[in-house]
Amino acid sequence: MTLRYRPIPLRPILPPYLSFPTHLRIPRTPSVPFYRDPKHIVPTKWSLYRSLLQFSKSSEPGYPAEYPEIRNEIKRLWRKHKSLTSIPRVQQFLNGQYDILSAFQSDESTKLNELESRLKNKRVLRDLCKSRDTAGQASQPDSKPPRLTGGYLRPTLFNPPLPRLKPQPIGLSMMIHNRLRKRERRMEKRRVYASLRADLKLEVAFWRATEGDDTDWSRRKDERSHFGWDKLLREEIGLMDKRFIKENMRSDMIYDSNMMRRVERAKTRKLVWWKGKKEEAKSAKRDKGMEQCNLTSNRP
């Protein structure tokens, strides 16, 4: 008598409440937010929004809309609230739009005309405020014109010798700022290139010492590259060094005679102005003291 081999099931042994179902379940429909549900989108756009536009336009083609302010306000509000995801706020907005639609369907001309006039007055007031603000901004000068202060802007690596201006032009400030940042990047780039060049020289020297004269390229430095193995690095480093030299030359520049005369004239005008201000302050103080003396002398 032979025993039959009974295969062991590969399914894991689970408690009854975790066992696999014997029947197929219908897959659940994934939850969709209401603002992406076609049951909400289609009636809202096609039954409400389209009907509002249909009622607000002219009954005859080619003529202006019968209620242009209401039509523009409807478009503006729908563009503004198209990103709403809150159910209470969406309900509040749609209820207001349905009220307007019911007024159109019921032909409540009094209510519609009142709404049209109110929106028109609102638009006129808004346009008036905008034009007033624009006129006020145009009448005000953007900034004070720069003037000479009688001082010198010393030459540095980033600017030539210039007269000091107040306020300092934005273009001059941005020029100094950009040149400063470029110099910092150039210094970092030169440090990296110099390190790469040193590593390249060490590697070439290593292969020459290892292979000796067995290979053609190690016999002479310019065998494969007519200008050396580090040609590109040397060229880039040379260009950067020229820029550093140019910056040093800029810092060594001197003022010309014409610029110095202009600065001295501005300095003289400034001193005269300050002297006049001091004299005015002294005279005002003297007059105030005289008035106080007269008041005290006139008292009984």
Task: Please compute the mean of the pLDDT values over residues 65-86 and round it to a whole number.
Answer: 89
Asked whether the beta carbons of 44 and 35 are under 8 A apart, the reply is: no
- Asked if pLDDT for residue 178 goes beyond 90, the answer is yes
Residue (of 49, 70, 54) closest to 118 by Cα position:
70
Higher pLDDT, 160 or 14: 160
Q: What is the mean pLDDT of the chain?
A: 81
* Mean pLDDT, rounded, for 119-144: 79
* Average pLDDT value for residue range 161-168: 91
What pLDDT is stored for residue 197 in this prediction?
Answer: 87
Q: Which residues pair with 6 in a beta bridge?
A: none
pLDDT of residue 191 exceeding 90: yes
pLDDT > 90: percent of the chain:
36
pTM: 0.46
Q: Check residues 74 and 7 and name the one with the higher pLDDT.
A: 74
DSSP 127-172: HHHHHHHHHHHHHS-SSPPPEEEEEEE---SS--SEEEEESPPHHH
Where are the domains positioned within the chain?
Answer: 36-136, 147-274
Position 298 confidence tier, pLDDT thresholds 50, 70, 90: low
Question: What confidence score (pLDDT) does residue 1 get?
Answer: 47
pLDDT single digits (tens) 56-72 = 887 666 667 788 899 99
Query: Per-residue confidence at 223, pLDDT binned at 50, 70, 90?
Result: very low
pLDDT band, very low/low/confident/very high, at 135 (cuts 50, 70, 90): confident
Residue 287 pLDDT: 79
> Tokens in use for 112?
């519609």
Query: Which of the pair, 58 or 51, is modelled with greater confidence?
Result: 51
Task: Identify the weakest region by mean pLDDT among 156-165, 214-223, 280-289.
Answer: 214-223
Q: What average pLDDT does range 128-145 have in this prediction?
A: 74
Q: Which two tokens stand for residue 84?
A: 């709403």
